[in-house]
Structure 1
């Protein structure tokens, strides 16, 4: 017996599908900025029919009108009984915001956000993360995607009474990954109907899987990411901590460490999930190392590192004395012996010895820039200072536009243009309340778009490390 699905149009942009022959929860469908509701409904029905390899009986209800149809595995739609036709007017308007776990493919180049959020005029970036679209801001929330038709060149045309769907048939999914989808519409179908649909090749889920593979991949010796900005209060510390937690999630426990190399009295201890105990800072660690020491026992090192729930370690700077250049270098040598990667949270002074060491040793530099003119000026000064120390590092420096209280959205275009004209990659982070509110950073408590953004940012940074010389 063919399965039967009852589809009810609940609004101009939403519908609900109920599988009458199985005790599963209803599946809610929603139009997107690139697909009308009719296209989303058809893609859903086609996926079920194709997976079951049977003709799917459908009752399509809209208000008082209903239509009985059969959706075949090849995507064709045939009527099953006379009824009033389904209206085929203009495409419905998209909803004001897309759900955070939508699987609609991002359409921009490398991006730091759950959606494709990046700007034009970018240098080369890891090919696994490349896709085309300018940034766009809507209603205070970041949204960016091209208005390129998503289903041009579809291989299968729909025949029958649903003429409105002829040009909206979803292209076949590319069998790039064998694992079933967990996110978006396909993920909901798999969970609700016990299907094993794989993600589309260009979907957000596939981009995140590619990013996770890069994060878990090989790194250069003494790998170091410097989070740098001479302007204070721009979010260096929360970005450093969250980025470290993200990398640890995919590389494993005790593989990455976040080092507090900022000025004395910074907020690092106030932002990590598990604050370090008294007497476990960098200076105490370095006091245990003799000049002739060529290695440090792991058990001794763990006394001065504080493990976070993500599996990452953190170490704070001196409680009373800023680190000298040689001390920072010695710390880097010790940590690199036992950890794959160091993420360095730096201070605001380019004259500080620890800042100079990070600038000279980093494989990649990340510069957070809130949407404020003073922060943009600070970022330009940071670039100038990096150019004086390491001109080659500029090709592996990423400007990370952030969103927080006090930002001026109208200035975003001008700020971005400053850096795009310098051919520096410019990425965009979504608004994160825990960053803006000064709270402790626990990765599971961050918004889903923020977690996805951090995953892509981490992959972008690690991908750029491959361009480092030596």
Structure 2
């Protein structure tokens, strides 16, 4: 006989909405149970919380700038850090004074350059945390803010950074620059376990995202491209653009397609807070995090 066998099973209770109100109003006598929307949310959270036994590196990239790579990295990092029990870090690997830290913490006085300088003497979580800033539970490692020094962040140094982060973090999200031939980008794709290709529902935004996939196939990253998740950032759109056709194109080439709708909070370009997003935008961010966690190795 076990404890589970002698305990009465409590019926599943709703957490919000009219179903929760009815349960409370009747003192628990009438329990309509969770609705379809609540069950869907629970399923998404269950996917996001998929356990990991080793670190997983996610590269967010595109050949085109201004399509929302940093926004996507920000949303993904915030959702994963909030709902996972392990450690998540977002790394800005943009060689041209990236803005990831600005969108997350507003703190970029200590950057990846300082971490590289002191790499040889860092051997504990406490020491690593001195070089990062916090957005909730998300650790953020800012990029070099002097554009003149950007080229110093090369492939070898990126690999050294990742080797260190692998020791202390479970999920490493890299917000990449736009230059696919840049040395640091070579290291990003070489070490990535999964990739997000960011585009937009415009002629140039969709075309450049497609060319990013073409480039990856042509340079030995075909399997990574085939398992990529395409994200369409819908800040800019037009009735003249055939969005279903764009969606269909990327669905045929990628594992999943996620659309991030226009959101006034994101459009400000300032710090991002999940609770200030519109419900559809927040749902899209959660779906993205779930899609990426689907490939985590338990």
SS of equivalent to 1:464 = coil
The Cα shift of 1:177 comes to: 9.5
120, 132, 139: which one pairs with 1:313? 139
Are 1:407 and 2:242 matched, yes or no? no
Map 1:17-416 onto structure 2 (within 5 A): 178-190=11-23, 193-195=26-28, 196-200=31-35, 203-219=36-52, 221-252=54-85, 255-272=87-104, 274-278=105-109, 280-290=110-120, 296-309=123-136, 311-320=137-146, 321-322=149-150, 323-387=153-217, 388-404=219-235, 406-411=236-241, 412-416=243-247
Post-superposition Cα deviations, 1:177-224, rounded to whole Å, max 9, x if no partner, equal 954222444244345555444214xx2221221221222222252301
Paired residues of 2:102 and 2:108 also in contact (CA < 8 A): no
- Which structure 1 segments of 5+ residues have no match? 1-175
Q: Normalised by the size of structure 2, how large is the TM-score?
A: 0.86
Counterparts of 1:229 and 1:193 in 2: how far apart (Å)? 54
Post-superposition Cα deviations, 1:83-129, rounded to whole Å, max 9, x if no partner, equal xxxxxxxxxxxxxxxxxxxxxxxxxxxxxxxxxxxxxxxxxxxxxxx
Alignment RMSD (CA, Å): 2.4
415, 418, 423: which one pairs with 2:249? 418
SS of equivalent to 2:245 = helix
Counterparts of 1:439 and 1:228 in 2: how far apart (Å)? 21
Counterparts of 1:361 and 1:187 in 2: how far apart (Å)? 46
Counterparts of 1:381 and 1:357 in 2: how far apart (Å)? 19
Counterparts of 2:128 and 2:250 in 1: how far apart (Å)? 40
The Cα shift of 1:452 comes to: 2.3
* Higher RCO structure, 1 or 2 (CA under 8 Å, sep 6+): 2
1:435 matched to which residue of 2?
A: 266
Counterparts of 1:423 and 1:443 in 2: how far apart (Å)? 27
Q: Which structure carries more helix by proportion?
A: 2
Counterparts of 1:424 and 1:181 in 2: how far apart (Å)? 32
- Look at both structures and tell me which one has the larger radius of gyration over its CA atoms: 1
> Which 4+ stretches in 1 moved above 6 angstroms?
none
Q: Normalised by the size of structure 1, how large is the TM-score?
A: 0.56
- Which structure 2 segments of 5+ residues have no match? 1-8
The Cα shift of 1:417 comes to: 3.0
The Cα shift of 1:244 comes to: 0.5
Distance change in 2, residues 1:360/1:297 (3 Å) = same
